[in-house]
Structure 1
Amino acid sequence: MGHFLTFVSAALTTAALFTDHVNAANNGTTPMQLRLAYAGPTGMVVSWNTYSKLERPTVRYGLAPWALTNTASSDVSITYNTSTTYNNHVKITNLAPNTLYYYQPQHSNSSTLYSFKTSRPAGDGTPYSIAVAVDMGLMGPDGLTTHVGKGASHPLGPHDNNTIQSLQEQGKDTEFLWHPGDIAYADYWLKEEIQGFLPNTTIEEGAEVYESLMNQYYDELTPITSKKPYMVGPGNHEANCDNGGTTDKAHNITYTVSICMPGQTNFTGYRNHFRMPSAESNGLGNFWYSFDHGMVHYVQIDTETDLGHGLTGPDEPGGSEGENSGPFSNIRDAQLNWLQQDLASVDRSKTPWVVVAGHRPWYISATNRSSTVCEDCRKVFEPIFLKYSVDLVLSGHVHAYERNAPISYTNPDPNELNNPSAPWYITNGAAGHYDGLDPLLRPLQNYSRFAQDSAYGWSRLTFHNCTHLTHEFVASANGTVLDTATLFKDRKCSVSRHGW
């Protein structure tokens, strides 16, 4: 009799969940665009979008698919002008480190379960890999595909995988995806229309096209971001709806940020869509923050605004691209002060590796150096990186790949990768988007060690132990590794496998 009652109870629960999902589909509460973000060593933020506002976004979770016995909720279901969806964010706390959990946002299909793994605690020296993709846009008919519009270049080959597909296959064993800026490239909507790639609309209708491209991108990424954390940073293409201006040469018209509708300026979509661990690291919003994962301390910086020392960020009023965005702190030198305090607090015996990512590079063999190289970024950040012995600095912005030597004030470190004292600089903005790749300037800079500007790809970082770190450039088209190099640091530390 007891088994029968259990069966009936389970059947009723399943029926109720099915009914709930049908109702959700009808009233716009079905979850989509699922994404995760670390929230400290024992926390995870679960985010998703819905067409309707949720009164109390809720996530069920547990240690087994059949035992989602815990719930977490929030009151964060937010939207903005021109958005077609609501962004829902729920922070789950008091989780066990390095542990697999199963979860389900409310109104999900009852047969669909998702899972995530919490971060490795500091001091855990178990080897692992992460994926890094910068300057990655929408793939498919409305983005990067096998054809381009008039004046564009670098379409995919007929049998090429794109970077999202490669991240799903060759990157399936990485622990999280780091994307330091230029997400989706929805702000290319007008350029794509001018080039005849997308159907023409009015400027007023452009907001709908922008949101459509953005939503398509987040949908495409869901198979990855629903399973592993998606850690992001700000790039110039998050700033507004038109990347600082587009010119229609055929009609001699130059458009500016003035065409952007309310809600599509000042990083509004970016600020609403994500919840990075700034609260846990005393950072600011999705702009600068840090987190530990095993034997690595990761730092995301903002190269777009809030540079400090009286310098104008590239996207602040009067900046190089006229984005009219930021600053986001009303405290002078807020980001630089935070960065110094953050790096000074790192326990290098537990997290010997320190890796920093910012969107714009300052060491790059770029063709248009005056508008591409962020010299102001170098002035404010490089002294801090040197002072606190940062191991690796990652960037994008230039749509190509260049691995440099470790560098100190433009000079290559004489030790190269054999226990250098300067940070190792790698730029990889070749993840791919509608506009294609950028040509590098040859001969390359004297600090360059390997470069290519003809293949789309992403970076895989593998931390073997406290002394050896390998970087690989993975070609998205077929998964081959086109470049690999290993950094050695001569140091002793107290990490151990499963050191927690």
Structure 2
Amino acid sequence: MAIIMLVTTLLSMALLCEEATAAAYVRPPARPNLMLFAGGKKSIQPDQVHVSLAGPNRMRVSWMTSSMTAPSTVHYGTTSQQYTAIASGVKKSYSYFLYKSGQMHHVVVGPLLDNTTYYYMCGGSGREFKFTTPPPAGPDVPIKFAVVGDLGQTGWTKSTLEHIENSNYNVLLLAGDLSYADYYQPLWDSFGKLVTPYASAKPWMVTLGNHDIEGIPYIVDPFRAYNTRWQMPYSESGSVSNQFYSFETAGVHVLMLASYADFDEDSSQYKWLQADLARVDRSRTPWLIAVLHAPWYNSNAAHQLNGDRMMAAMESLLYEARVDMVFAGHVHAYERMTRVYSMKRDPCGIIHITIGDGGNREGLAQSFLDEQPEWSMYREASFGHGELDMVNATHARWTWHRNDDDEAVVADDIWITSLSAPESQCSVSSSTKRGVSNRRVLRPLGT
């Protein structure tokens, strides 16, 4: 009897512990959509300001004006209100049925000093903005990325952006699905206004998602708004597409891949990726990461198999190059995988992370598969963002920050060793070619 009572007591305590653990986080309810309308008469005043990396010691400044005659110039310098340089660029606009955009200006400024704050004025009028350049190039130079996907523009988006702002990041990586305009073009303007306080101060590097396509066969070409508003750098290895490109900062080579452009062996994206990976020098950039939209590994019930065809076409390329991490969006939840290749745990494989939980209007993907795969380490359906802190050439710290009401709570925290590090035992130079003759001709995902 005493043993039975003891077992009963222990079971009761365990159940209480489980209940306490489950009750430790109660997911807050949805928050309403935000929409910041433009108003007033035509103006040359800058609006929807954001900056992005545009090559070594260069930054692209982008903004919208409602006036068609506003100049595409940026005055800038290292002291407030004292501009020592001026740069000129281009402007473009687009139509979408009855909608007519303002003028989107894109100006590349530089050369710039590393890790320096610059003050700038767009078009020679309006308020002053400022941005901070990333750290210098070098294999052992620390740098911090904020990582987010599927932002949209809801109350949770605003909370996510505020948390990111407090993270002291250097560069933001956005894994697609920016505005969730979904054909209603004024929402692109609203999104631009919403992110201006953040994107005007630190470089944002973005790739496209399915909600950014907005194409109508024979009527409207896809990505019309995205390509006009968010111009990204062309890669030195020959990419002439705004949908896929690469860039380097500090000791990191970043691949921005397109889930919704052709990716078979005959495609321009595939050939570009081969050429880009061939020029990666791990002695200069020991870290190699990729960002795309539709995840290749996913144990959520939502969007199952959406990334499989792109994975079949390109996974071996990234594996052979010893890519360290791949960040994806699309699934509105967080999930971190261990190193994996060909659906199996592999010490030389890639760490895949789904981070499509920025705050979109469609809500969270709350149903995961009952049986968690062996390669899935942590999964949770909550809004939030990630921070990737490259400490040095060999080690990085990844943290995922859940939006718990209005606080950013660290819910997942790991240290990562680069595959280029001597202790990883995954030599890049000695990696063997796998599956080249068995690759199938594949086409991009549908929407």
TM (norm. structure 1) is: 0.71
Which one of the candidate residues 167, 178, 188 is aligned to 2:164? Answer: 167
Which shows bigger deviation, 84-93 or 214-223?
84-93
Q: Match of 2:106?
A: 89
Which one of the candidate residues 394, 397, 414 is aligned to 2:330? Answer: 397
Which one of the candidate residues 173, 193, 207 is aligned to 1:178? Answer: 173
Aligned length: 378
Q: Match of 2:316?
A: 383
Local SS of the residue matching 1:341: helix
Return the offset for 1:407: 0.5
* 1:352 pairs with 2:292: no
* Contact 1:30–1:107 under 8 Å retained in 2: no
* 1:296 pairs with 2:225: no
CA distance in 1, matches of 2:354, 2:240: 24
Q: Match of 1:99?
A: 116
Unaligned segments of structure 1, at least 5 residues: 1-24, 146-160, 188-206, 242-256, 310-331, 414-419, 494-500
Local SS of the residue matching 1:136: coil
* 1:231 pairs with 2:164: no
CA distance in 1, matches of 2:197, 2:214: 27
Pairwise CA RMSD: 2.2
* Contact 2:206–2:232 under 8 Å retained in 1: yes
CA distance in 2, matches of 1:230, 1:452: 26
* 1:78 pairs with 2:61: no
Q: Structure 1 counterpart of 2:338, which letter?
A: A
1:228-307 to 2 correspondences below 5 Å: 228-240=202-214, 265-278=221-234, 280-307=236-263
* 1:128 pairs with 2:137: no
Q: Match of 1:484?
A: 413
* 1:366 pairs with 2:383: no
Which shows bigger deviation, 436-445 or 398-407?
436-445
TM (norm. structure 2) is: 0.80
Q: Match of 2:76?
A: 61
CA distance in 1, matches of 2:48, 2:319: 39
Change (3 A) 1:280 1:52: farther
Return the offset for 1:281: 5.0
Return the offset for 1:45: 0.5
Return the offset for 1:64: 1.3
1:199-218 to 2 correspondences below 5 Å: 210-218=184-192
CA distance in 1, matches of 2:322, 2:139: 21
* Contact 1:232–1:286 under 8 Å retained in 2: no
CA distance in 2, matches of 1:219, 1:465: 35
Unaligned segments of structure 2, at least 5 residues: 1-39, 423-447
Q: Match of 1:467?
A: 394
Change (3 A) 1:26 1:431: closer
Local SS of the residue matching 1:445: coil
Percentage of matched positions with identical amino acids: 31
Q: Match of 1:149?
A: none
* Contact 2:173–2:206 under 8 Å retained in 1: yes
Change (3 A) 1:368 1:482: closer
* Contact 1:389–1:423 under 8 Å retained in 2: yes
Change (3 A) 1:121 1:216: same
Q: Structure 2 counterpart of 1:424, which letter?
A: I
* Contact 1:41–1:120 under 8 Å retained in 2: no
Q: Structure 1 counterpart of 2:52, which letter?
A: A
CA distance in 1, matches of 2:233, 2:165: 24
* Contact 2:57–2:114 under 8 Å retained in 1: yes
Local SS of the residue matching 1:297: strand
Cα shift readout 1:451-478 (whole Å, capped 9, x = no counterpart) = 101x200110011111111111111231
Change (3 A) 1:430 1:369: closer
* Contact 1:53–1:77 under 8 Å retained in 2: no
CA distance in 1, matches of 2:202, 2:85: 20
* Contact 2:401–2:408 under 8 Å retained in 1: yes
Return the offset for 1:446: 2.0
* Contact 1:121–1:292 under 8 Å retained in 2: no
* Contact 1:405–1:447 under 8 Å retained in 2: yes
Q: Structure 1 counterpart of 2:107, which letter?
A: V
Return the offset for 1:432: 1.4
Return the offset for 1:124: 5.3
Change (3 A) 1:29 1:55: closer
CA distance in 2, matches of 1:490, 1:89: 37
Return the offset for 1:412: 0.7
Local SS of the residue matching 1:405: strand
Return the offset for 1:55: 5.6
* 1:139 pairs with 2:66: no
